[in-house]
């Protein structure tokens, strides 16, 4: 038997085909096997366990998405509060103050003044 790589998810098409096979098996009234892993009861139990785990995954994924949205919103609220604080510091203490520099703003006097570049004329 070929070793199965169970670290990868099965494609939805494969799962759908397996469910169709289960429904087809339920129409066979004379099915009987001595293999415990292929019994109707074991297959039904595995199917119900799969459905329960898929439902749990969907619920947790929805929770994750809600938590991610809440975190993103909180990050933006924090960022906007910091921007507002910087505006207040700039307005209260001035653009060239040590207080403005302490909150991460660059002092106005530290900014490099633009210099005019001398154009070089090329003569031929």
Which residue would you say has higher pLDDT here, 108 or 99? 99
- 101 within 8 A of 107, measured Cβ to Cβ: yes
pTM above 0.85, yes or no: no
Cβ neighbourhood burial of 100 (10 Å; 0-12, 13-18, 19+): buried
- 96 within 8 A of 108, measured Cβ to Cβ: yes
- 75 within 8 A of 90, measured Cβ to Cβ: no
- Tokens at residue 31, please? 């099915």
84-107 tens-digit pLDDT: 999 999 999 998 888 998 898 888
């Amino acid at each position: 038997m070929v070793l199965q790589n169970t670290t990868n998810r099965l494609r939805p098409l494969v799962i759908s085909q397996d469910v169709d096979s289960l429904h087809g098996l339920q129409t066979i009234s004379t099915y009987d096997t001595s293999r415990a892993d292929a019994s109707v009861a074991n297959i039904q139990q595995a199917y119900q366990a799969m459905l329960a785990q898929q439902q749990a995954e969907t619920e947790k994924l929805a929770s994750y998405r809600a938590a991610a949205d809440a975190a993103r919103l909180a990050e933006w609220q924090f960022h906007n509060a910091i921007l507002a604080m910087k505006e207040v510091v700039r307005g209260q203490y001035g653009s060239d103050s040590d207080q403005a520099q302490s909150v991460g703003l660059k002092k106005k006097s530290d900014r490099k003044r633009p210099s005019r570049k001398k154009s070089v004329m090329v003569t031929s």
